[in-house]
Copies of this chain bind each other. A is one copy, B any other.
Amino acid sequence: MNIRNPKSLEVCLSPALLSLYSVENYIVVIIDIFRATSSICYGIENGAEAIIPVAQVEECVAYREKGTGYLLAAERDGSVVDGFDFGNSPFSYTAEKVAGKTVVLTTTNGTQALHLSRKAKKVVIGSFLNLTSLSNFLKTQNENILLVCAGWKNNFNLEDTTFAGAVIDHLIADGNYTLDDPALAAFDLYQLAKGDISAYLSKTSHGERMRKLGIEKDIAFCLNVDITTAIPILQGEKLVKLI
């Protein structure tokens, strides 16, 4: 890291704000903690050849017609859609199920964030599962970094921003970055959260929604820190393992 020439470390709190940034000047990290980017990290760690995020169940269906090589993941209201292989639970992304396969994953918030970030220098995927590995990679890059929160229905959510703060906590420990206001806020929120992330996030609106859907186990799993090291990176339309 060049001390005289600090890089920008910024946080985009919602896809609706992404047009305010010139993404081509950044490495972008996509964050959708409950549950898309957690499942993606877990799936790539467990040997999925690629994961293709799409916004709509209908797009997912289209892949069935392209051949039998795809696993199709689609949920509506927390249940696997009829005729699909599985939903968005990270527990579906075990080695037994995904190793060597290409998974087509339906995720509205995350896909929008990915789509809007395609012109970035690189687009990688972050979650608590690969926090340290991701942060160590970012430290080596000597580039401006934009942490993009997928949020909820185009608005801010606490879990994605708190995770952005966790990445910032790692990076500024031994790096020289200029933080924007959203990054300062994310860092501060993470300081409040890091003693017990699960307790801190239990108050969020999204956590509440997830509890109503009966997927508390998914939530708990998505808050496991550093159980994976793989970093998913966007190549064309596919997320693959960064080598």
Chain A residues with CB under 8 Å of chain B are: 13-14, 16-17, 20, 152-158, 161, 180-182, 184-185, 188-189, 191-192, 203-206
| Contact in complex: B180, A205 (CB < 8 Å) | yes
| Contact in complex: B153, A181 (CB < 8 Å) | no
Interface class of chain A by DSSP: helix
| Contact in complex: A181, B154 (CB < 8 Å) | no
| Contact in complex: B181, A206 (CB < 8 Å) | yes
Q: How far is the CA of A123 from the CA of B68 in the complex (A)?
A: 57
Q: Which of B13, B152, B158, B191 contacts A13 (CB under 8 A)?
A: B13
| Contact in complex: B14, A153 (CB < 8 Å) | no
Q: Which of B153, B182, B203 contacts A20 (CB under 8 A)?
A: B153
The residue among A155, A192, A204 with the most chain B CB atoms within 10 A of its own CB is: A155
Q: How far is the CA of A157 from the CA of B180 in the complex (A)?
A: 9
Q: Which of B17, B153, B158 contacts A185 (CB under 8 A)?
A: B158
Residue of chain B at shortest CB distance from A155:
B20
Residue of chain B at shortest CB distance from A182:
B156
Q: How far is the CA of A70 from the CA of B221 in the complex (A)?
A: 62
Residues in B whose Cβ lies below 8 Å from that of A156: 13, 17, 181-182, 185
Q: How far is the CA of A116 from the CA of B191 in the complex (A)?
A: 34
Q: Which of B13, B161, B192, B205 contacts A192 (CB under 8 A)?
A: B192
Q: How far is the CB of A158 from chain B (nearest CB, A)?
A: 5
Residues in B whose Cβ lies below 8 Å from that of A155: 17, 20, 180-182
Residue of chain B at shortest CB distance from A188:
B192
| Contact in complex: B185, A161 (CB < 8 Å) | yes
7 nearest A-B residue pairs (beta carbon)? A158-B181, A156-B182, A157-B181, A181-B205, A20-B155, A181-B204, A188-B192
Q: How far is the CA of A151 from the CA of B235 in the complex (A)?
A: 35
Q: How far is the CB of A197 from chain B (nearest CB, A)?
A: 14
Q: How far is the CA of A155 from the CA of B180 in the complex (A)?
A: 10
Residues in B whose Cβ lies below 8 Å from that of A153: 20
Q: How far is the CB of A207 from chain B (nearest CB, A)?
A: 10
Q: How far is the CA of A189 from the CA of B14 in the complex (A)?
A: 18
Q: How far is the CA of A154 from the CA of B153 in the complex (A)?
A: 18
Q: How far is the CB of A185 from chain B (nearest CB, A)?
A: 6
Q: How far is the CA of A20 from the CA of B205 in the complex (A)?
A: 16
